[in-house]
Structure 1
Amino acid sequence: MKRFFFLLVFILAFQSMSAQLFTKEKVANAVDNIDQKFLTWGYFLGFNQYDFNFDYYENLEDVLVDKTFGFHLGLIGDMRINEYMNLRLEPGVFFTTRNLNYDESYFQGTTFNDSDLLREVKSTYVHIPLLLKISTKRINNFKPFIVGGFSTALNLSSNEDNPNDNSSGEFRMTKNTYFYELGFGIDFYLPYFKFTPSIRGIFSLNDEIIQDVDPDSPWTSNISQMQTRGVFINFTFQ
């Protein structure tokens, strides 16, 4: 269902882009004055893929991350600074799952089973970025831009306060994470709204792993730092 929706939106966006690229004159739109407003509002939805970047104390086999596509949605508040710059607040809710696969070398000298080699990390983030959007001059009915900024996220599924750790099958992360973000996209001016597909990368600034109680834990003792990184594909309507 997600793939079908993504394909449908892509086809609509491609048709709109093709029509506007080869139109010599700007088509009259109900949103022609939207870029002149000091404050505008909208919403977004899209897909995400989260990953982890690990740093280790010892040179053992990497912890492998199986990434899946997640879903997200949220609201947009846009403040106009000038013709080419906008300040944006984009709070949203993001759902994702990552599977961590440990090599058997982490468990040398201990008794383990196959389930110990896998940790499923489900995350629900309340993600709040503050972004600076820098656009080119509008060309007919589209306008490319780059965007960047900083964000914070509350992980509602972190297990940070859970007294159980990996010895009980619970992988724990910090509740709060801080990111920097970079991306690009194109605004398309359609007859009744502005449609914006964009892609953005996010990179964590802090260590997110909660060490197990056992200092020799095979799941956490060799990890000196674990940081989230990810890719967002957004579809915005204003």
Structure 2
Amino acid sequence: MKKLFVKILFVSLLQTFFLSNAQISQLFRNKDRLDNLEAFDEQTYSWGFFLNMNNYDYKIVLNPKYGIYNKQNLVQSKPTYSFGAGLIGKMRLNEYFDLRVEPGLQFVDRELTFNTQVNSSALVLTDADKIRRVKSTYVDVPVLLEFHVDRWYNSRPYVAGGLNYMMNLQSNSSASDDNQQGIFRTTTHNFGWSAEMGIQFYFSRFKLTPGFRGTFFFNNELVADNPGTPPYWAAAMNTIQTRAFMFVLKFE
């Protein structure tokens, strides 16, 4: 399913690129220029969908006893690139402000490396013990307030910001096993804030919006290991908080 979605996203990006090249001169021509979708932004409600590439990472605050040795950080986070998709619902507030709700799914894969055995000798760590692949599927529901300026020919820049609720469907928060059995646990329900900027392009039949978004969690996502588990994993960290950067393509 993941490979199929990546192929679909790649084809969509190619189609968008070629379509943009074919129509870009029409978008910004002065002579005999026609404004596309002139009444589109006068609608009180509108909808669309989006595709995105994402890069998720953890901001980690280490425990000074178990996560740091000789001023060296013993836990490292490695982000990877993945993808997401969702729907767009927009309500026009006035000439310059819109309210947007953009529920979607974000598929995330991260890797944590624990070189923490130097602080304890309770267990000999194997290479498998040192690596935790943290896979997450977030149901992301951002509510954003968008501010845009007047259209310039067939384009319009904007900025947006707001709050997110994100449910992690692969959090393992209720699992009885922990890192000693290879299970890294995080919280299911999370909250954060997002900021976004981009440019809206008006074509003859639709509006295309490429944009960049950053999302940052408020809460600590770490679930402690069970009592009796050696302090190599969760105990080596005080807090972990997701931070994400996305390139988004919106179609309305």
| TM-score when normalising by structure 2 | 0.87
Cα distance between partner residues in 1 of 2:84 and 2:200? 20
CA contact (8 A) 2:35 2:154 kept: no
Is residue 141 from structure 1 mapped to residue 147 from structure 2 by the alignment?
no
CA contact (8 A) 1:177 1:204 kept: yes
CA RMSD of aligned residues (A): 2.1
One-letter code aligned to 1:53: K
SS at the partner of 2:100?
A: strand
Is residue 76 from structure 1 mapped to residue 88 from structure 2 by the alignment?
yes
Is residue 237 from structure 1 mapped to residue 245 from structure 2 by the alignment?
no
In the alignment, what sits opposite 1:24? 30
Following superposition of structure 1 onto structure 2, how do residues 101-180 of structure 1 map, counting pairs within 5 Å?
101-105=113-117, 108-109=120-121, 110-180=123-193
Cα distance between partner residues in 1 of 2:206 and 2:190? 33
SS at the partner of 2:21?
A: helix
Change over 3 Å in CA distance of 1:192–1:21 after alignment to 2 = closer
Moved over 3 A (4+): 1-7, 104-108
Is residue 54 from structure 1 mapped to residue 67 from structure 2 by the alignment?
no
In the alignment, what sits opposite 1:224? 238
Change over 3 Å in CA distance of 1:136–1:13 after alignment to 2 = farther
Cα deviation digits, residues 2-53 of structure 1 (max 9, x gap): 5844752563475268425641264243x22110011001111111110000
CA contact (8 A) 1:77 1:90 kept: yes
In the alignment, what sits opposite 1:208? 221
In structure 1, the gaps of 5 or more residues are none
Deviation at 1:69, TM superposition (A): 1.3
Cα distance between partner residues in 1 of 2:207 and 2:43? 13
In structure 2, the gaps of 5 or more residues are 1-5
Instruction: Name whichever of 212-221 and 69-78 sits farther off.
Output: 212-221
Deviation at 1:157, TM superposition (A): 0.1
Cα distance between partner residues in 2 of 1:226 and 1:101? 14
Deviation at 1:66, TM superposition (A): 1.9
Deviation at 1:167, TM superposition (A): 0.4
Cα distance between partner residues in 1 of 2:44 and 2:118? 56
